[in-house]
Amino acid sequence: MSELLLIDDDQELCELLASWLQQEGFLVRASHDGISARAALAQHTPAAVILDVMLPDGSGLELLKQLRSEYPELPVLMLSARGEPLDRILGLELGADDYLAKPCDPRELTARLRAVLRRSAPVAGTARLELGDLSYSQVRGVASIGEQEISLTLSESRVLEALLQHPGEPVDKQTLAQLALGRKLTLYDRSLDMHVSNLRKKLGAHADGRPRIVALRSRGYYYSA
């Protein structure tokens, strides 16, 4: 049974979502502010976190930044009444694996969570993908350039893994979203683009200045050898 940490100051909503998710087979703990959420995380790391943007003792986005620093591979789904595109983009830029606006359909929330958890499942064996000076451990979800290790979020690691399996070949956005995010992109959905942008910043360019990840209009992305 997967354990979730739900961080939201709306206690009534937490009770409703916890009840629904428990019926769907999840074990749910709830925290209603940043302080109690940090304490809960220090005590036990859940399988995934559902995090609201607005918290009574600070911004959920600031908490997200801390989570990404301390728990880089922990899946985080943002859930917020602030559903404007800019808020979604900021949440994804800071490393959220997915973002849903409230009110949301509990069935969609469940589907998104299951997609995130499927992607976070351990990979059997000790597979390592290598291309030029970059190597990627499928087991650890960590990339290395030379001697430098680069921590990746769950979504970033899945994007990189998909691109490295087809070096030099463009992977269209819908295929990449299915492989990396576990779902299809919806109209005006920029979540995949944001994960790719974050990944580009972390990996940097080749020694000769060429970008490692290249975008081809209407064709998707590819990793340049």
Percent of the chain whose predicted confidence (pLDDT) is above 90 = 47
- The average pLDDT across 132-156 equals 86
Query: Could you give the C-alpha distances from 6 to 15, 29, 32, 91, 136, in angstroms and in order?
Result: 10, 6, 8, 16, 31
- What pLDDT is attached to residue 144? 92
Residue 211 three-state SS: strand
- The average pLDDT across 135-162 equals 86
Confidence of residue 200 (pLDDT cuts 50, 70, 90): very high
- What pLDDT is attached to residue 95? 86
- What pLDDT is attached to residue 7? 96
Task: Write phi, then psi, for 59 (nearest 5 degrees).
Answer: -85, 135
The DSSP letter of residue 18 is: H
> 29-33, 37-41, 54-58, 182-186: which has the minimum mean pLDDT?
182-186
The DSSP letter of residue 41 is: H
| H or E stretch covering 52 | none
Checking if the pLDDT of 97 tops 70, the result is yes
- What pLDDT is attached to residue 117? 86
- What pLDDT is attached to residue 85? 67
- What pLDDT is attached to residue 84? 64
**Residue 101, token pair as written in the block:** 């606006």
Domains in the chain, CATH or no CATH each: 3-119 (3.40.50.2300), 128-223 (1.10.10.10)
Which residues, listed in sequence order, are joined to residue 171 by a DSSP beta bridge? 221
The DSSP letter of residue 106 is: H
Mean pLDDT of all residues in the chain?
A: 87
Rg of the chain over Cα atoms, rounded to whole angstroms, equals 18
Checking if the pLDDT of 223 tops 70, the result is yes
- Closest C-alpha to 159, from 221, 112, 111: 221
List pLDDT tens digits, range 12-28.
999 999 999 999 999 99
List pLDDT tens digits, range 99-133.
888 888 899 999 989 988 887 765 554 578 888 89
CA angle 140, 67, 13 (to 5 degrees): 120
- The average pLDDT across 205-220 equals 92
Length of the chain: 225
CB 152 within 8 A of CB 199: yes
- The average pLDDT across 36-43 equals 94
